Structure 1
């Protein structure tokens, strides 16, 4: 297999150049991935909201409201003036202001619906939970008041606070799913960015040598058929892609080592292996199309960045528009990222649950075959043109 050995020699001579590509793009990928790695905890943790409360009366009902809010809020000492309150809201010292008017408790106990003045930051989502807590407190108080009209404020307060303090244990149904949606999926998605660029640059560099018009004519006079030559070149391309894939997968497994024992890890590796075969064919196709080193760099940047941006490598597919995703579906990168998303969202994977994942992998294989056939056709056309 002289052509195959020659390709390996060329790869060896270009090792330093390829290593630079590896180093630069691996560092860029690590920076991107480290900056955006999800650090979400499993479950829910309530954060306290900084609020100011101004009550013009001190009654058991109002004191009960303060006690109910103490679980979700931190009471800030702010001067009771419009200017001080506005400054505190502007500088985010507080995000919620409550003002209880005089006579509120008597009106409430009389069955009326007195109003509490509330001032919030428009973009503060935490105020929603404070609103819910206030409504919960007074709704329960109103319910007790309707059932027991003669109840006093102290008893009413105690009943309401006792009910509010009760908690319900919640078990997270998607615990295993959440554990698999961390670094492993994230780094395997970013593998596509580095691998595509390195594969296209490395393979195209080899193809430039064989696409030289003088070498083409010399090879046409050799005893090795053009079909064998192309097959041996593609074998060398696949070997180069395979070793590049091993390096990048090893890095992804290292950065996601806390999740490596999860059964989904094997499917991440399988999906990336299929993607490797697909990009090998794409690189082989591009190598048959480009005519110069500048064209290689341009093609590598445009195809890699374009495909990664619209396919979900940099921006999650879940927040992208349907039109963009429809366009992205014409790229194998989209199906690779989609496959990673399916893997991370499923637990206890078996033959009955991987239908959508199998479709994503089969589509990538289809892309690989299409790229290879197209590369063979273009390569043959180029060989015929060089013989004329």
Structure 2
């Protein structure tokens, strides 16, 4: 049966989830373009700004399991709607910021909380529930790809407004874009009416949240995936937060940073589609490890050379292809291991590790830059940890290709 025919009944849900994801991720990934003008204007340091981004990532990570668990009790729609509203409020507070407190609360706490309710873990759980298991990995790749378009659009829009009218106008433009998350979350919330598929005898759907957590951390494959996920967050948030600043220090055209973030978003689409397709055919955990290794090699290549517009855009294309491809792989692996009912919560548990890495990438990069006057030590640490995490992930997947005894897929 053609894929479109299979998906037709759930297209409003998938489109809503994709739009919500593309805005929540795209706007968040583009905040780095405001780092230089905002810090100069309100009198805060680079490390102050990156601390707010680090708080955002910690709030996102540690609230993600809670948001996932709440979808089981209250449904997806109310959680996503509240998250969309918090995103609008957070951006508005940043746009009117006069000091560190507004940046910390708006860009840190409010947007971080919103992301726990609107970003990848929730959007992927919505998509996974809405479609049959036979096409799940492919659909997760499609939703992840659609979610990649946000950076392709928001970064250039934000940079144009920033250069032409100032950073406050740029963030005001982001507020307007974020308002569209509200109807998107409403339509994605139709998934609450979709019944869960029949469960196997060892599925954890009928257990409590506490038992589901215990089962997850008793699974060695999940634990290794979670630890390696730390690398993903560290590398990606380091780039989205610090690449615009790095290019400015190197004397590059400010628009190049927005173009590079847009390039990342564009190639993200291809990477998400590819890894969604590949995850339905090959070992998802081995593919995750390969992504981490390839990213690390790309980082080492780019930062050892003087940046040029050509190499920077090529670097953006490579990193973009390897960017959100982890989304369908992680979501698919969790669904395979544990079923669908607790997927958002369990995926959120893994995501906590990702966000600890994000904290290190954002705040640690800022601290090292303030202390050493360059990003050299920061990118070297990112490369070393990325290679280590990727190699361990691939090795575990190859040594135990089917992992330990897993729960039946939903």
TM-score w.r.t. the length of structure 1 is 0.35
Structure whose alpha-carbon radius of gyration is higher: 1
TM-score w.r.t. the length of structure 2 is 0.34
